[in-house]
Amino acid sequence: MSPVKVTLSRLDCLYLARLAEQAERYQDVVDQIKSLIVSSQGQLTADERSLLSIAFKNITSNLRNAWRAVDSLEKRDDNTKRQLVLMQLEKKRIKDELYGACKDVVDLMDNHLIPSASPGEEKVFYSKMKGDYYRYLAEFSKDEPGDQSAKLSLEAYKWAYKHALANLEPMHPTRLGLALNFAVYYHDIMDSPERACFLAKDAFDEAIAVISSHVPKTGQTIEDSLMILQLLRDDMILWSGEIQQGGFTDTNSSSQVTVLRYGTDR
């Protein structure tokens, strides 16, 4: 018997993507949303783009954590030369997978989602994602001669932040999430806690100034914004301590909390 061919509607694809997310099959989520991107000429709903963001975040987080775990084991004093060679091989495999996943995101942003996005929040959201995934690549390649990941991440963040300031309210979760991740870029990639603190404090202060009069728009909640404000505050405290001590106390941000609804993360 030949396999039954099923034509999937947009709602079918969205249901399968949600189902795959619940089953933690994140590549399946990506595949379903990619089919929607093709069929809709790059136009995604807020739910669809959130699913795409969540899926890629989980895929790349697993790879980043795996690389760090092997890197930590590599620094032990009791490794043999053979073990060190094998660890280097495994780190390269993980890095290659990470590069493939991040390149997949950037290609989707450049070729489909950013060109088709409406001005304002949607453009900012996708441009922030582009900056994020170039930043993830820069984490593991910033010391490699000729690597452009850090530069491309900075360009995407700058473009997104300029448009966020012009189009989004200070308490908008996408604007706050962008400020958070842009500040992390300055801290983790540029090794500048001073610039990270300046950007984070500016976003924090502007949001606090209007918090009493903020009325969430459709699809937003005040809880999302408050959670990101707490992350900004936590990082500012950590980075201020580093500045006072004249050096880094940690190469990562203060928290690995992820606000997945709006794709806000570290």
44-85 pLDDT per residue, tens: 999 999 999 999 999 999 999 999 999 999 999 999 999 999
Once rounded to an integer, what is the mean pLDDT over residues 136-164? 92
Burial class (CB in 10 A: 0-12, 13-18, 19+), 18: middle
pTM: 0.87
pLDDT at 249 over 80: no
8-116 matches 118-266 in fold = yes
Long-range CB pairs of 230-236 (<8 Å, 24+ gap) are 231/180, 231/255, 231/257, 231/259, 232/176, 232/179, 232/180, 232/183, 232/200, 232/203, 232/204, 233/204, 235/180, 235/183, 235/184, 235/187, 235/196, 235/200, 236/197, 236/200, 236/201, 236/204
At 219 the pLDDT is 55
Those residues whose C-beta lies under 8 Å from the C-beta of residue 239, and which sit 6 or more positions away, are 187, 193, 196, 197, 200
**CATH 3.40.50.970 is the classification of domain 8-116:** no
pLDDT of 179-229, one tens digit each? 999 999 999 999 999 999 999 999 999 999 988 776 666 555 788 899 999
In the CATH scheme, what architecture does the domain 118-266 have? Up-down Bundle (1.20)
Domain ranges for the chain, please list them: 8-116, 118-266
Q: What kind and span of H or E run contains 112?
A: none
